[in-house]
Every structure is written in structure tokens, then in C-alpha cells.
Amino acid sequence: MSHDNPEIGEFLDLLGNNTRRRILESLTNEPKYFIQLSKEIGVSQQAVLKHLFLLENFGLIESFKAKSNLAAPDRKYFQLNRSVYLSIGITGNSMEIKMENIKGPNKIRSKNNMAIESKEVSIKKDKEITDILKNTKHKLELLAKRMQELEDEKIHLLKEKQQILEITHQVIRESLKEDLARRILYSNLISREITDIEELSETLNTREKEIKIVVKSLEDRFSVDLI
């Protein structure tokens, strides 16, 4: 079950902090060193370092050294490192938390580009940027639109699920006096099959033997196969 994944809790906890969200948002643009971040976000260098450590520890960001353009020593830059998608849906009768690591083609590493400071910017590059500001932006807008449609449909389905579960839970509640019997049916509703008595025993914090007896009586009474 979702609540058993300690990584989800850690991830939610990390993102629960406003400064950390702002650091991540800032790093979406380009790698930065911590003094830059501190200045941009308006938070003390010490605090930024603390948050960067937590984010790096979880693997959301990584650091690398790059040459400074001045005669100064190398700078430690931070950049986003991990692609994650998480969705949470809570309705009156259901809760689902899903976290998926997005695997994709490896990022083009920026390590070698941080120190580039060419004075002459080629006309070719200028045209590329014009194109980005016209066409790429439009592509990104289309992507955003489609993603919004997906979210909307998801919310619509969550509502539908809510309505079904509302009635379902109501009926179960009115028909079954025994706590354990209800909990077994609730479990059965959201998972495919109660194949694993052992797992159910753990989830419901109840002895396997007891579960088996109740499952059997439910199967007989409602003429269904639960296992």
C-alpha cells in the first residue's frame, strides 16, 4: 500500500518546505551555486546550504564543480538530478498516492558549459532563440494544455469513484455488523483479489486464522469468491 513507501513520505516532507520548493524551481532554469540561490531567493546562505544538503541527500539535485570565469577557485554548482511524478487524490471515500520515477534519456550534462562566456554570439544562435521564443513556446503551451486536460479527466474520474464508493460503503456499513467483515470487503473492493491471506493479515492487523473464517462466511453468504 502507498502508505508503506517511506520514500513517498520523505518526498512529500521535502516539498512541504517553501524554501526548498523555491530552490527547486530556481534550479529548473539552470545550474546555480549556493550564493546565487541565496541572493535570488532572499534566504541566508546557511539556510540554503542546509536545504541543498537535504535535497541532494534525497537525490533530487546533484552538485558538480565548474571553472569560474574569474581567477577565483572552482565553484560548486547544483542542478536537478531526478525526474519524479507524484499524484495524490483524496475524496470522501478514497485516497491514492502514486509516485513514479520518470526514466528518460540521460540529461545533456551542463558541466562543460558553465564556463563558456563567448563574447561573440553567433547569428545562428540568435535565430535559434527567435525560433524558441516563437515556436518552442507554442509547443510548450500545447503540452501544458494537454496535461491540463489529463488532470481534468483524472479529477472527473475521481469524482465518479467517490460516488460509487459512497453508495458501496453505505450498503456494506448497513449490512455487516462485524468490523473485520467490513474491513475485508473494503480491502477487496480496492484491490484485485484477496490472494494473499498473509498480507491481509498484516494490513488488517488480525490473525490469519480469524481472517480465513470471516472470508469463508462472507463467501457463503454473498455467493462470491473472495480468494
C-alpha cell at 203: 494490513
Residue 138 interacts with its own copies (CB under 8 A)? no
Among candidate residues 76, 73, 18, the one with its CA nearest the CA of residue 47: 18
Helix axes 137-175, 179-190, angle to 10 degrees: 150
C-alpha cell at 116: 563558456
Q: Which listed residue (98, 115, 199, 213) binds its own copies by CB under 8 A?
A: 98
User: Under DSSP, is residue 81 helix (H, G, I), strand (E, B) or coil?
Assistant: coil
Smaller CB distance to its own copies: residue 103 or 209?
103
Residues 158-197 that bind its own copies (CB under 8 A): 158-177, 182-183, 185-186, 188-190, 192
Smaller CB distance to its own copies: residue 8 or 49?
8
Smaller CB distance to its own copies: residue 76 or 125?
125
Number of residues that bind its own copies (CB under 8 A): 110
How many angstroms separate the CA atoms of 197 and 212, rounded?
Answer: 8
Residues 25-44 that bind its own copies (CB under 8 A): 25, 28-30, 40, 42
For its own copies, which stretch binds (CB under 8 A), given 45-53, 156-164, 194-202, 207-215?
156-164
Q: Which listed residue (89, 197, 201, 212) binds its own copies by CB under 8 A?
A: 89
Angle among Cα 208, 212, 216 to the nearest 5 degrees reads 170
Phi-psi label, residue 5: left if phi above 0, alpha if psi -120 to 50, beta otherwise: beta
Residue 100 interacts with its own copies (CB under 8 A)? yes
How many angstroms separate the CA atoms of 173 and 34, rounded?
Answer: 56
Residues 63-82 that bind its own copies (CB under 8 A): 79-82
User: Under DSSP, is residue 65 helix (H, G, I), strand (E, B) or coil?
Assistant: strand
For its own copies, which stretch binds (CB under 8 A), given 24-32, 43-51, 70-78, 208-216?
24-32
Phi-psi label, residue 223: left if phi above 0, alpha if psi -120 to 50, beta otherwise: left
CB of 226 to its own copies, least distance (A): 8
For its own copies, which stretch binds (CB under 8 A), given 45-53, 70-78, 153-161, 209-217?
153-161
Grid look-up 558541466 returns 111
Residue 46 interacts with its own copies (CB under 8 A)? no
Q: In sequence order, what are the residues at sequence separation of 6 or more whose Cβ sits closer than 8 angstroms to the Cβ of residue 168?
A: 189
Smaller CB distance to its own copies: residue 46 or 122?
122
Residues 114-133 that bind its own copies (CB under 8 A): 116-118, 121, 125-126, 128-130, 132-133
